[in-house]
């Protein structure tokens, strides 16, 4: 079931190679077990080019039943059991960090405004501690 003969047409997304995380464990050479998507090591082991493609899955055209009710279609569990690769839904996600940017820049502006106000207030005070002590002493003479 998983070894298809003849010409096969795939719909795929070409993905950038993900970087290894700080806590990811290196896979053992020749073991075929990887703890992260190490495209270069997989390509060297398989004797192919290091390209990461993600197969797309279209439930309607692939004759796959999500509810496991049709007689002539495969369920996801049956595909997994027989080693048939299951594609992704083709969702492209963009990071939305606008709220983080707002917090960062408004926080910086509030902080620098506070520092400017405190700097201006400190300039109005006498410059040395000796001058302050003398003014305090003159009050009580």
Closest by CA to 15, choosing from 50, 65, 62, is: 50
List C-alpha distances in Å: 18 to 9, 48, 64, 95: 25, 18, 29, 15
Length of the chain (residues): 141
On whether both 71 and 108 belong to a single domain, the answer is no
Whole domain around residue 67: which residue ranges?
Answer: 1-93
Looking at residue 27, its pLDDT comes to 77
* 7-24 residue pLDDT tens: 877 778 888 888 888 888
Residues 89 and 102 in one domain: no
- For 93-135, the pLDDT digits (tens) are 777 889 999 999 999 999 999 999 988 887 766 567 788 788 8
Asked if residue 87 has pLDDT above 60, the reply is yes
111 and 47 in a single domain? The answer is: no
What is the reported pLDDT for 71? 54
Yes or no: say if 87 and 54 are a contact pair by the CB < 8 Å rule. yes
> Helix (H, G, I), strand (E, B), or coil: what is residue 121?
helix
Residues 75 and 106 in one domain: no
Same domain flag for 81 and 121: no
> 13 with 58, same domain?
yes
Alpha-carbon distances of 29 from 24, 33, 40, rounded to whole Å: 15, 9, 12
Six-digit token string for 19: 């970087």
Judged against a pLDDT cut of 60, whether residue 68 lies above it is answered with no
Residues 82 and 104 in one domain: no
Number of domain units in the chain: 2
In a shared domain, residues 80 and 113:
no
* pLDDT of amino acid 8: 74
């Amino acid at each position: 079931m998983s070894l298809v003969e003849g010409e096969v047409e795939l719909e795929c997304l070409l993905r950038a190679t993900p970087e290894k995380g700080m806590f990811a464990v290196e896979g053992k050479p020749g073991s075929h077990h990887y703890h992260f998507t190490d495209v270069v090591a997989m390509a060297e082991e398989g004797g192919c080019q290091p390209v990461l493609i993600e197969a797309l899955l279209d439930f309607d055209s692939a004759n796959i039943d999500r509810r496991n009710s049709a007689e002539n279609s495969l369920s996801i569990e049956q595909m997994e059991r027989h080693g048939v690769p299951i594609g992704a839904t083709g969702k492209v996600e963009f990071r939305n960090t606008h709220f983080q940017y707002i917090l960062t820049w408004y926080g910086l502006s509030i902080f620098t405004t506070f520092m400017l106000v405190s700097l201006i207030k400190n300039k109005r005070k006498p410059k040395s501690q000796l001058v302050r002590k003398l003014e305090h002493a003159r009050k009580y003479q």
